[in-house]
Structure 1
Amino acid sequence: MTTAMLPNAELVAHMKEWRQNLDKDDRWCILINADPDALASAMALRRIILPRVHNADIARVNEVTRPDNLAMIRYLRIPVRAWQPEKAEQYTRFAMVDSQPHHHKAFQGIAFDCIIDHHPLPPNGGCFIPSAPSLCDIRPGLGATSTIMTRYFQALRMRPSPRLATALLYGIRTDTAAFERSGDEDDFRAYQWLSRHADNSLLRRIIRSEYLREWLPLFSRAFRNLTDCRSNGAFAWLNEVNSADLLVAVADFFTRVHDLKWIAVGGIVGKTVIVIFRGDGGRDIGRLADACFYDVGQAGGHRNLGRAEFPLEAVPADMRPGDFVLKRLETRKLRPQSTPNDTAPAQGQPAAKAKPESNGK
């Protein structure tokens, strides 16, 4: 498994060899948990392999509901469809970008031939992969998978179209929060290079598509229910919502409030309690999410963002779900630093990577 940033010469050789060995009769499916970084990376991988294979489809295992993500798909004409497991037999090869096999139940049992990602490896140091992929490039040190894909284009001397460059640029922008949350020199260089090829007018249209009008009552509810929590943090309980993306949108909004160090926004989606965490980096939010909810469900994330999910039935019968969440936020202690906290979904999907469909992990 390739997990480190390869030197340029070795990267070029490895990518060219892998690409040259692609079979023109193969029918590829690129599976993603759709968010901007995943959509852009899938779009890029499709561009790389399509000239050398029979066909390459992009399939998502989650619903896309955020207006900016819908705008991205629409304006950049990303050919993504919903994943239908019953049609798996029509493909001969599977690829995954911006995820790992243990991130989503829909990925289980699929033999991936290509895995490209930037999220942390699971605690045991390796992915649960049914069979060894011919290309596995996982680089936790990078801020976005779109950066890896940009490096591939540079290595293969391929020029991205304005729409693809815009997608990759937006993927880096969202996953690094415009370099406020994460990102290193490689991410910044990729961003600069893409800026020369991207369509800025399309990028502005996507960025401005942030909220839906029907979401506004949820913001009002969050303002009314906002409760101070330990260490200059706050908690807002929204009760029942249609999608976790609504919780993400509200949590992201509160990151812009001056002197609010961290925010947790919780709600019920179906029969699952979901809590979205965001922070300014002063407190390790991923560890906080883990400490509060690891024993009732899945919880974890990164330093600046986290997510917890647990079944509604885990809430004691004599407590309201919002009170249960708040009590744990106020009383639970962090587990030892050595305890992994990146094993839970933190940017918006069940048992998934450290980010949801939300824009920013």
Structure 2
Amino acid sequence: MIKRLEKIADSVTQSASKNSATSRLQGFWDIFDRDDEVLILISADPDAIASAMAVKRLLSYRVQSVAIGYPNEIRRLNNITMVERLKIPLERMHTLPVKDYSKYILVDSQPNHQPCFEKIEFDAVIDHHPVTKGWDAKFIDIRPEYGAVASMMVEYLRAANIKPSVALATALFYGIKVDTQNFQKKNMQAGDGISFRYLFNIANLNLVRKFELTELRRSELKYFRIALNEVKSRKERAYVHLGKVGTPDILVIIADFFNHVDKFDWVIVSGVYGEKLVVIFRCDGYRKNAGKLAQKTFGEYGPAGGHKEAARAEVPLKNLPLRENHEFTTNSLIRIITRHVK
């Protein structure tokens, strides 16, 4: 009897969820006309790219055309590989005739997240970040409790009875993995898991592994040699300064690498990118707080902070108290950290 009641309750919950998804889908579709030329805008990352692909699929055969634009440069090799392997049609925002479109959709962001977005009156905004003020749209679906917008888009597709292609399912699957940090983030709910499980049997998992593993260019292998030669340990803290780097992403990769080494409770990796010193902090987040350490040690020089287990500082070089012929070194990094933390 109890099991029967549980099944009935589950059935009611699923029915309510489907009705809600169908209602959202219809509300979204209602704002478009057959002759609309639609522009979807995103700050390009895996979740945003995949979600934009899903929105474009939802509008197929319902509008005249759909384009996806983004203002930021895609630097991460994982993301470049994703776009190239799946042949995703994206265009830089500055190359598009932005004013010529009849409808505008913002995905995985909100209008005041980017100055270039603030100038546009969006017809639809779909996001999972905390709600901000000072803007409006005809259709708004913002669910901060979701770990990824891709999870929300799977619900839209299923409500529309659209089975995603392998390429779309692969993108959505990867988008959920990245934004939920493999389901280790706290701000998730059952919808993320349900969408992820649905995509599991459709997505190309070998391609997903390729995206995840493609982090390094061959030209960046030299930074591992520098790091291994340069790393210094003080009180179970690993310090490394890599000098000038072509992208701050390599600092994250090196920091994560050293974070797997035994007896390193803290990893602090820095490098010079442009006119800024970028510092990456890593720890286990247990009785330690990387965000607080970043703020405490570099906050007086520029933006610094983050989460318990991972943090970052990006400060202008001109703000730093430099010695040693005005060059920042691993010893400089140690000196700044130990000045605040004994």
User: Quick check: 1:27–1:55 contact (8 Å CA) kept in 2?
Assistant: yes
* Distance in structure 1 (CA, Å) of the matches to 2:294 and 2:60: 41
Tell whether the 8 Å contact from 2:226 to 2:242 is kept in structure 1 after alignment: yes
Report the Cα offset of residue 181 of structure 1: 4.8
Q: Aligned partner of 1:17: which letter? A: G
Show the counterpart of 1:252.
Answer: 256
Residue 102 of structure 1 and its aligned partner are, at CA, apart by: 4.1
- Aligned residue for 1:171? 175
- Tell me which of 54, 69, 88 is aligned to 1:44: 54
1:15 deviates by: 2.7
* 3-state DSSP of counterpart to 1:276: strand
Paired residues for 1:117-136 under 5 Å: 117-119=127-129, 121=130, 126-129=131-134, 131-136=135-140
- Structure possessing the higher relative contact order (Cα contacts under 8 Å, 6 or more residues apart): 1
Tell me, which stretches of 5 or more residues in structure 2 are unaligned? 1-15
Sequence identity percentage: 35
| Aligned equivalent of 2:84 | 74
Q: Counterparts of 1:229 and 1:110 in 2: how far apart (Å)?
A: 51
Distance across 1 between alignment mates of 2:180 and 2:234: 26
> Alignment partner for residue 145 of structure 2, among 134, 138, 141?
141
| 8 Å Cα contact 1:315/1:324 also seen in 2 | no
* Aligned positions of 1:3-18 closer than 5 A: 8=17, 9-18=19-28
Partner residue, 1:59: 69
Shift of 1:110: 2.9
User: In structure 2, which of residues 102, 105, 118 is the aligned counterpart of residue 92 of structure 1?
Assistant: 102
What amino acid maps onto 2:162 in structure 1? M
* Contact 2:151-2:176 at 8 Å conserved across structures: yes
Match of 1:267 among 268, 271, 275: 271
Aligned residue in 1 for 2:6: none
Amino acid at match of 1:57: A
Instruction: Give the counterpart of 2:163 among 149, 159, 166.
Output: 159
TM-score normalised according to structure 2 size = 0.80
* Cα pair 1:241 1:269 within 8 Å, conserved: yes
TM-score, reference length from structure 1: 0.76
Instruction: Output the CA distance in 1 between the equivalents of 2:168 and 2:133.
Output: 31
Distance 1:115 1:280, change over 3 A: farther
Q: How does 1:325-340 map to 2 (within 5 A)?
A: 326-331=334-339
Which residue is 1:25 aligned to?
35
**Count of aligned positions:** 320
3-state SS of 2:122 partner: coil
- Could you tell me which residue of structure 1 aligns to residue 10 of structure 2? none
Answer yes or no: is the 8 Å Cα contact 2:303–2:315 preserved in 1.
yes
Tell me which amino acid in the other structure corresponds to 2:148. A
Q: Is the 8 A contact 2:322 2:332 kept in 1?
A: no
Deviation of 1:194 (Å): 0.6
Secondary structure of 1:112's counterpart equals: coil
How far the C-alpha of 1:180 sits from its partner, in A, is: 3.9
- Correspondent of 1:299 among 297, 304, 321: 304
Q: Which residue of 2 aligns with 1:214?
A: 219
For the structure 1 residues 255 and 158, does the alpha-carbon distance in structure 2 shift closer, same or farther, using more than 3 Å as the test?
farther
Whether the 8 Å contact between 1:147 and 1:172 is mirrored in structure 2 is: yes
- 1:203 Cα shift? 2.3
Aligned-pair distance for 1:294?
4.2
Match of 2:12 in 1: none
Q: Deviations over 1:228-257 (max 9, x none)?
A: 467x54342222112222223223333433
Structure 1 equivalent of residue 205 of structure 2: 200
Alpha-carbon shift at residue 71 of structure 1 (Å): 1.4
Q: Distance in 1 between matches of 2:309 and 2:140?
A: 27
Aligned to 1:111: 121
From the superposition, tell whether residues 110 and 308 of structure 1 become closer, same or farther in structure 2 (CA, over 3 Å).
Answer: farther
Secondary structure, aligned partner of 2:59: helix
Give the structure with the higher percent helix.
2
How much is the aligned-residue C-alpha RMSD, in angstroms?
Answer: 2.9
Compute the displacement of 1:147 (Å): 1.7
Deviation at 1:164, TM superposition (A): 0.7
Q: Distance in 2 between matches of 1:154 and 1:314?
A: 52
SS in 1 for 2:137: coil
**179-188 or 307-316, which deviates more:** 179-188
Which residues of structure 1 form unaligned runs of 5+? 1-6, 334-361
Kept in 2, the 8 Å contact 1:181–1:304? The answer is no
Residue 340 of structure 1: aligned partner? none
CA distance in 2, matches of 1:86, 1:294: 38
Indicate conservation of the 8 Å contact 1:101/1:128, yes or no. Answer: no
Q: What is the alpha-carbon distance in structure 2 between the residues aligned to residue 141 and residue 326 of structure 1?
A: 39
For 2:296 and 2:78, locate their aligned partners in 1 and report how far apart those are by CA, in whole Å. 32
In structure 1, C-alpha distance between the alignment counterparts of 2:103 and 2:163, rounded to whole Å: 25
